[in-house]
Structure 1
Amino acid sequence: MTLLDAARDRLDAMVADARTLIECESPSEDQAAVARSADVTARVVGAVLGTAGLPAEPDRVDVDGAPHLRWTLGDGPRRVLLVCHHDTVWPVGTLERIPFSVVDGVMRGPGCFDMIVGTVQAAHAVALLAVDGGAGAVDGVTILVTADEEIGSPRSRALIEAEARQHEAALVLEAAGPGGAVKTARKGVSWYEVEAVGRAAHSGLEPEKGVNAGVELSHQILALQSLADAELGTTVTPTRGWIGTTGNTVPANARVNVDVRARTAAEQDRVDASLRALAPVLEGAQIVLHGDINRRPLEREMALPLFERAARLAPEAGLDSIQEIAVGGASDGNFTAGVGTPTLDGLGAVGGGAHAEDEHVLVDEIPGRTALVALLIRDLVSEPTS
């Protein structure tokens, strides 16, 4: 039996495992919810591994209330890190409006595409190899399922980077691009808050005695726009903002969030330096910058050798071919690539609607994607990248 045939035989079980995880809602900032999700994920993934003769119990790494799960398989050199997360963007109660379903081959439910099905695929891919070749077939593989990816991984970043440094390759089970494309490049992300500080005054009695932080911030927002570079793919986007405290006071404080995306580290550094050099326009105003570079880019050079392996193995997974795509969104793959570990992203579910009401997964694509991950792991364990 081929790995693809074995993956097809597991499809019903994979759908059932996905349902169990989907129905345990897990918004990133709800500590009670992610704690429950960690318990359920540990049970589901552990059961899949246990039935294949592998250790079922994960290391539970709790960082400031964020429960991350790690299965370290074998005691040989660390070869392959599988990167997943069990948190989602959907608040508790979403299931009442968008329940789990599979209709005409389309799975729906909050978090199914981003990235619950990817986590299920990772577990079953490893189990497929262990059933086929014994525990030695996955010696050197680590499965890491974190709890805070959707909010920028503030409490898992150090863990992800430490694990990545120990491994020769990272496979990220985030959802695929359109048509099942894997992600060979992701923009880097920087998050900031630009704060304008002025001086309050009564807006009716003596507005001239104030320094209007809202007006100052408007000048800064226009300046921010000029830092973007469309040709290089660099975006600088003011997003959420706040001005003042009451309707009849010259605002003494105004703030705006700024989302920066760049294809290269050099562009990230350029924008970062420009933001730190912002100067006030109004006399008496001050500018305070909060935030920093969050994720370095996943540049194509870090993914290309792994993509070439995936393209070579795709027919064995029942895929005629596999395409690559560069995307603006970031993932924990940015962290693994950022410490120098070859990284291939977007190996998870095929579907669409991430973070949207129409989030969905194409069920018929699950076996082939699972087989591809298994084939990549086998290839990397037997023929390391270095």
Structure 2
Amino acid sequence: MHLKCAVILFALYFVTATQSMGLNKDQVEKIVKIFKTFKNGTDLSTSALCREYNLVFEHKRGRSPARKVQDLLVFLASNDKINDNPKIQSLSSYEVKIFVGLFNKYDQWFDHSGLLDHDEVKKVVNALNLEDDVEKNLVDKIKYIFNALIRDSVDSILLISSETINAPKFLEAFLEVKPKGKGLDKKRILELINLYKGHKIAGDYIDPVEIAKFFKNLSIVKQEHEGLLVFDSIRTAPFQLKELLLVSAEYNKEANQENGPVYSTDSVRDVLWNFSKYDVNQNGLIDKEELKGIEERHYQDEDVDSIFEDFDIDRDQHLNIAEYCRMEFTQHERMNAEKTEHERMDSKKEEHEVTTLRKRIVKKER
């Protein structure tokens, strides 16, 4: 049974909504807080969230409260919300699905409640390919959460494994220790451009098989858990590409300044934010008219045509986020090169003036 959902088409939504990049830190914290406030009132909590985000969501029947929350996490990660902000630390919809998949895999309770005890959560952590320091920080954070649960328990003699947490609480803990990543280089941007250009299937989606390969290369989970890397095509290719771009920046282990410019994950987030602002019709692409409308850059018609000639790789008369990112970074490099050249010329001029002055002083002393 598939999730039944619909977007309420309020004018306010189109004015204030940005394009979803999954779930950001603020949103996850809000989900944790709301479900804690309503305790076991899952449907009430869901209604409160959906009203705020102008979304409608219908729970599957017969699901435990914690499993309902998992379904809601995936739904919210995959849909635009009024306070989406790519500048805030986040989890892509793909990561949310991976973590929910791991939660279900290690849910050993007889009723598959969607709640994991301390030992089961440690198995989820162990399934992830984390740097040693990140894994240690996450383990410490989770231990702190379970110790807090024990302190809050009526029976203070409960063992740590007697307490359980749900998926939102785990996501909150992970976001507190998640590293920013090494960022993007030109090689990775071109790989994403080729992924979008060469692997779209009917209905304007990126081939799920290719997305699975993409995530295998990122090594987010250990090899024995790669069976979880199966994703439904919910959002169209331009929106899929935006998420893949950010995920790539966060998990790229190959970026190295010695091999050329590397753009930090924060820089990538800035580009995503600007792209969403310029994408007036919110279709995940920028056309020539939208590019002309960027007043800050004062693009003329000939400038726009030249930009599309240079950066519209798939010749579809639009810039996707990877093409736009390449354009932004190329222009940044040109500006830096011009600045370096000006500094070199100024230095040479200053050196010439100093040399001339010294000659005059020597001549005068004679």
TM-score interval w.r.t. the shorter chain?
Answer: under 0.3
Q: Where is the strand percentage greater, Structure 1 or Structure 2?
A: 1
TM-score under structure 2 length normalisation: 0.25
Higher relative contact order (CA 8 A, sep 6+): 1
Q: Where is the helix percentage greater, Structure 1 or Structure 2?
A: 2
TM-score under structure 1 length normalisation: 0.24
